Structure 1
Amino acid sequence: MKPVRIEGKVQHAAPPVPAARPQPDPWHVSADDFPADGTQEEQLWFMLQYAILAPSPLNTQPWRFHLQRTQVDLRADTARALPALDPQGRALTISCGGALFHLRVAMEYFGYASRVQLLPDDTDPTLMARAWLGMHCETPAEVLTLFNAIPKRRTSRQPFVGDPVPEDLLAQLQAEAQTEGAWLQFVTDEAARVAVADLIAQADRVQWASKEFRNELAHWLHPNRVASRDGLPASAEGFGDWASRVGPLVVRTFDLGKGHAAKDREIALGSPVLAVLGTEEEGPLSWLAAGQALAKVLLRAHAESLSASFLNQPIEVAELRPRVLDLIGRGGFPQVLLRLGYGREVPPTPRRPLREFLV
């Protein structure tokens, strides 16, 4: 997929958002239902169903969309910010970048050039991007692969098997990140892998010692059998079905950092690949680039049967973040720490229906 093209501002009248469309299960969206004979506004509405399948911290889904004919504004939903985990809004902005990349892929899959303006209004920091349908174009083969991966991509918190990841696939993932203005570096030296795992464990202990962090995490945890459309089931924090009923209370009340540190360290060391995705610069534009690069890497990885999840704790703890760079031996700004490997299929995290994201 071609790198994003920055365009000048465009102005459109703002018709009302189309009403009363069918609302499928977000993860069961099918390209067969695309309204090929509909208006471009209806087509863009359909494409947004792929944007909302992007990953986000604690599955907060922190984005909103303002649809106007052939144009859509992507906004950060600051009501879903995580001030304890993400005080700068870096992870929130990265998440919005992921949603934007999914939208770009959907546009090109359905035969339109994707045109995007990042941060189009200096006076409105919640306006992440403005995207609109460009000219009709042929769908590149690369886009077919990425698009088909969108509704199948998962975040796997399960241990991976020990099978090595081919070097040529790792090189391909690095190239994918570079096309979106980011870098991807793998932690290959065994001593560095152990040091990164130790850093993850240290960050776990720091975070869990914070009452504000525990309260925030508890807010986004739900009993396993509750049909919530956002947040995480308590099983993600190790609670069984019965215990999950009191999971949020336990998380809010007790410092479980020691146990989580040991578990995450073991998971990190058992992962075939540890990787850091970063940018050369810091700030909202770089965070959006990181989000788009991350989305592309995750989709490409899934297309190659590779699972992924995040161990971002050392980047979330401000005093530990610089040490990530020391361990990988490069400059820039680390944005995401992730693990890659092969594992069993896992269910998706829940998603709200598209209508709840529309402004």
Structure 2
Amino acid sequence: MIAGARGRIRLAPSPADARWDPSTLPTEEADEEPRWTELQLASRDGDIQRINELLSRHKDNRMKLEIVNEPAIGYYGQTALQAACMKGHETVARALLEAGANVNAPGGNNIYRTAFELACGTGQIGLIRLLLDAGAVFDPKKVTRYQGRTPIQAAAEGGHEAAVLLLLERGANINAAASPSSGVTALQTACFEGHVSLVKLLIARGADVNGLPGKFSGYTALQGACLAGEVDIVRILLGEGVDVNAPGSLYSGGTALHAAASRGNMEIVKILLSAGADPNSAAGRRGQTPMQSAYLIGEMDIVHLLLEAGATGPLTGGKILFGNGRTRSWTESEVKIIR
């Protein structure tokens, strides 16, 4: 099946159909939208009857292998097995594996998510065990081009403690690095999502509280907790000796104090300052300060608090960090009053 420019889908005949002409299909360069085969669509929908019907058409094992392993096409395309695993269809996944599906096939060329990673994101233990027994790889060398995750990162994002424990028992790397762009480690995503008990579990199992953020727009564990306003997790991390002044990602990040200030969280700002956060730490290419982050969203109380803590420099000149779209325009007279 093929996703058109307006989201409509038309069926692509099987390659076995004599009328089917591959040259009529849009090329990857011309169309980066996902394009689906009949089997991929049926797998996504959990339609085991349709899947069995499609597979039974091909008595030749070589042809059946080709059909069941049709590659994912487009930025967000998926193989049949990946589509089934994303939706948690264990029965479908088992049928596809028995038909010869490649458990470690790459996903679409943007997200690059494997069937195993998608299964771990559902937290379904039976499905995860099925893929493990089929030879699923824990930490693929190429996680993603942009925003992909390792299986343990996927499980941690959903707060699936049983899945995380199973993966650790099978040898998963608890500190697997974040993907190059905006990916996060297992601990970082657990902190951002507010999974307190999972955060404790990961730290107890050796998770690095100072793991580096994704290069371009990721965050550290402490920055993630501050962004999400997770006070309890902030305290847990500080108790574990986290670097309160760790720098953020290259383009849109900042320190934990920047994160708290950019979200207007007075309680966390106070906690961080008490823990030694630098009120004059610079972030991004413009050297933005936490005070500028607070000023941008109109948090005058935080601006005053940071000034009392020794913040210096201009109020203007900052930009939105961490993707926060909340802003407040100030007049010159208001700036003088704040000062």
TM-score, length-scaled by structure 2: 0.25
Query: Higher strand share goes to which structure?
Result: 1
Tell me: higher relative CO, structure 1 or 2? Use CA pairs within 8 A at least 6 residues apart: 1
Larger Rg: 2
